[in-house]
Amino acid sequence: MIILTTFGRFQASEKNTVMDEKLWRSAKVGQLFVYLVMNRERSIGVDELTEHLWQNDDPTDNPGGALKNLVYRLRKGLKDAFGDREYILSGRGSYKWNTDVAVKMDVEDFEKYLKSASADKCTHTEQTIKQYEQAVDLYNGDFLLQWTDIHWIATLNTYYHSQFITIVKSLANIYAEEERYNELEKLCNKALTFEYGDEQIYCYLIEARMRMKKVQLAFESYEKAKTIMDKELGVRKTTMLNKVYDELLAVTKGKDSYDIDQVKEDMNEENMNGVFFCGYPVFKEIYHLEVRKSERTPVPQNLVLFTFFSEKQQNHNVFKLRIPNAMKALEHVLKMCLRVGDVAAKYSDTQYIVLLSKCDYDVAPLVADRIVRKFKKIFSVSEEINIKYDIEPVSAENSMVNDKSIVDNNRGV
């Protein structure tokens, strides 16, 4: 039996043999294979196949001839990998997968588990859980993600992703009701690797960690979720997150009263060396506090926004590959160079925001320059990545970071 995997990595295998991945360098061969297998109970006309493989804007002059060539290449690849069998049957103006050659597809098993779970949903909880868990285990990434420029693949990609999230939430609800918090935490962690911006899944994760007494991790999950909702997705109203956060505070602090010594012990920081790193939501609250304080006691403070960018459009793909390491390197440098009282946070995938405390405006560029120099020493320079910084003084009159670059140090790194 041929095992065809389409979630995450695309692969065809039988026993210990994996089909040569060189064949998939031709996207059309792989797409033809999947389409024939997914429709193996019927013969498929040449017009239908060419329509699904070559869209209207595709510059193929002779799609019929191109299809015949693709069928030949697919047959040869299958025979080379899995032996001399008749995999694809030819008819009058049509092709069909030979159903005598058994194929097992992950998406079909996924559908089977989902259908079974839906049928048992109201009466057989353990069976429902098992079916949901099997479906979740199968989902190791989006459907044929590398080929979503093809309409039918993009449509199925969206459908299966949506079904996966629906299954996750249904299973999470059961886990929560049955207080199976270890399974709930694992489920949410997997789901968030494929859907990082779902508020409800974050709420389930926070609840699991809260109930398991993983208080610090629960707070960190909340802070991460707020950052994603606020900055990356632009979602300002997070009702579910706010509710679970209130519950987290109630569970961790309770309704009892505490004396000042207990409160102080709870708030004490173990390590007060260097810059205070936090998530952006916390950074924003600290910034608001400093703006308010500046009304009463003017203390020189400055915001510095470090930004990585690429000047050449053709370097964009290399930039995307290198930026995670560049961000890690910059975080390391900020920890080396900044002082107690300074605050820093990741602002986006390519930016860090820093609040320099007790730092005059004319000194801030010197600090930023020092950080850039240190960064150059530990990160291999290239023309694909540049760094700049913008500086804005903190004051009540100028209480938001605007687009105006007061200092724009555009330097290739």
- The C-alpha angle with vertex 331 and arms to 398 and 213, in degrees rounded to 5, equals 95
- Please give the model's pTM, rounded to 2 decimal places: 0.64
Given pLDDT bands bounded at 50, 70 and 90, which one contains residue 121? low
Mean pLDDT, range 218-227, rounded to an integer: 85
CA distance 407 to 3: 58
Instruction: Supply the DSSP string of 271-324, one letter for each residue.
Output: ---S-EE--HHHHHHHHHHHHHHHHHS----EEEEEEEE-S-GGGHHHHHHHHH
CA distance 202 to 163: 18
- What is the DSSP-derived secondary structure letter of residue 97? E
**Out of 159-163, 182-186, 299-303, least confident range:** 299-303
CA distance 37 to 272: 61
CA distance 74 to 80: 10
Q: Quick check: 409 pLDDT over 50?
A: no
Q: What's the length of the chain? A: 413
- Residue-wise pLDDT for 58-73, tens only, equals 656 777 888 999 999 9
- Residue-wise pLDDT for 267-325, tens only, equals 555 556 678 888 777 788 888 888 887 766 677 888 999 998 887 765 677 777 888 88
Residues with Cβ within 8 Å of residue 171, at least 6 apart in sequence:
129, 132, 133, 136, 187
Q: So what's the pLDDT on residue 228?
A: 80
Q: Which alpha helices (H) appear in 40-124, and where do they start and end?
A: 46-53, 63-82, 106-120
Looking at the chain, the whole-number percentage of residues with pLDDT higher than 90 is 43
Q: Do 41 and 140 touch, CB atoms closer than 8 A?
A: no
Q: Do 295 and 396 touch, CB atoms closer than 8 A?
A: yes
- Residue-wise pLDDT for 66-111, tens only, equals 899 999 999 999 999 999 999 999 998 899 999 999 999 999 999 9
Residues with Cβ within 8 Å of residue 20, at least 6 apart in sequence:
77, 80, 81
- What is the DSSP-derived secondary structure letter of residue 363? T
